Structure 1
Amino acid sequence: MTAARTLTERLEACYTGVVHDVMRAMGLSDFTLPPELRPILPERAMAGPAFTILGKVDPSADAHETLLAWTGLLSQAPAGAIWVSQPNDDRVAHMGELSAETLKNKGVRGCVVDGFARDVNFLLEIGFQTWCRGFTPRDIVGYWLPAATNVPVEIGGVAIAPGDYLVGDRDGLIRIPRAIAEEVASRAEAAIATENLVRKAILAGVDPQTAYLTYGKF
């Protein structure tokens, strides 16, 4: 008998369009992250609970201090999570080669950085899904420090609490509150099943309005 899929696996199989529609129908809002955040592997879906990082710029920090704090962050990231960073910075990269290798080996599913990344060819080579706003070779050394981990963060007006689920694919990223993630997954799976019936009807030549009135979805 096949083992039951985890919530992460179930959500990863639900494309963001249907998740969005389900959450909108539930009366929720402010859950879609900015479209400027883009994945380096757009063909690969990603889902999982958030391990959150809040950062600050500190040009007075020395190189050792910044690297010690950064490696400490990497040590905290739990397997099965998504690294979600609000660095409060738009000048340097907040994900790169050695960090991605470390996180991937720990079982972290990918990262979302409200800022920049670097070493992108290497990230592509190892298949570490990275959502970011762009790329730069500049790093954090002597410039940036973490302020807190596992605290609520905000990205583009979307509040993300530790343990909230993120679902991302080529269309974009959605945050699902942890308390309703199971319900959202179940409703999204049901909606996908209904959409499959609509698709089958359309391919069979049924008028689209008739299909909509029959199944209540389009």
Structure 2
Amino acid sequence: MDENLREKLIGVSVATLATALFKRGLRNQVIQGVGPLQRKGRNMVGPAFTLRYIPAREDRNQLTEFRKPDHPQRVAVETCPAGHVLVMDSRKDPRAASAGDILVTRLMVRGVAGVVTDGGFRDAAVIGELDIPAYHTRPSSPTNLTLHEALDLNVPIGCGDVAVFPGDIVVGDDDSVIVIPREIAGEVADEAAEMTIYEDFVVEQVKGGVSVIGLYPCTRDEHAERFKTWRAERGR
């Protein structure tokens, strides 16, 4: 991933990115029902590497499956590239865990940028303390084998009602996770970075007692001129 793009996306919120995507007609890019296990104070940014689960069938999903070196869940953990985000389609079903602390620790050690599931994690409290951003719906103790079969790697998936294609850019902040189509990630990041600068100015003005009318969005020349001066003074 281009490091300039990564740096821009680290500094913008999911809310701002959602607005930039909405301007382009994309209304449904925030992964629904998913939040951080623990706030990290920094954005998760990286291309998507995907894992798809299907409903488990009892004759195919016994504990012995984990002994197989080609088990898709284990392969995903060992092959998700550094700097990428592992995104799992767990069918929005957190009754069985998508993964646990050992697998997420392995992802962290391998340099993976983060992990997202529309299901749940077991050992969630431990995962929350790890130095890797992780997002899920709620804690879940049963192994994935009880309800989910890991099947496909790096294919288009649905996660929290959002289509995720391999290589799409995934950004998570302390609120939620958004998926940016990779073809427009650069222009969206540029616009979101500019929006963030103006929003910082707006917050300062509002705290100083200024009305939001005509300020946010900017529809008055006086605010545009004040922003121009504010930005020059701060070198932004």
Q: TM (normalized to structure 1)?
A: 0.87
Give runs of aligned pairs for residues 163-174 of structure 1, distance below 5 A.
163-174=167-178
Counterpart contact for 2:10–2:44, Cα < 8 Å: yes
Residue in structure 2 matching 1:196, options 193, 196, 200: 200
In the other structure, the counterpart of 2:123 is 119
Question: Gaps spanning 5+ residues in structure 2: where?
Answer: 225-236
CA distance in 2 between counterparts of 1:72 and 1:203 reads 51
Q: What are the superposed Cα offsets for residues 27-66 of structure 1, whole Å, 9 maximum, x if unpaired?
A: 22211211x2111123433221110111121321232224
CA distance in 2 between counterparts of 1:144 and 1:26 reads 35
In the other structure, the counterpart of 1:60 is 59
The one-letter code matched in structure 2 to 1:213 is T
Aligned length: 212
Counterpart contact for 1:33–1:175, Cα < 8 Å: yes
CA distance in 1 between counterparts of 2:113 and 2:139 reads 20
Aligned-partner SS, 1:134: coil
In the other structure, the counterpart of 2:35 is 38
In the other structure, the counterpart of 2:229 is none
Residue in structure 1 matching 2:161, options 157, 161, 176: 157
Percent identity (aligned): 27
CA distance in 1 between counterparts of 2:148 and 2:160 reads 21
Question: Gaps spanning 5+ residues in structure 1: where?
Answer: none
CA distance in 1 between counterparts of 2:89 and 2:10 reads 23
Q: CA RMSD in A?
A: 2.2
CA distance in 2 between counterparts of 1:116 and 1:67 reads 22
Change (3 A) 1:190 1:137: same
Q: TM (normalized to structure 2)?
A: 0.81
Residue in structure 1 matching 2:4, options 3, 6, 24: 6
Aligned-partner SS, 1:208: coil
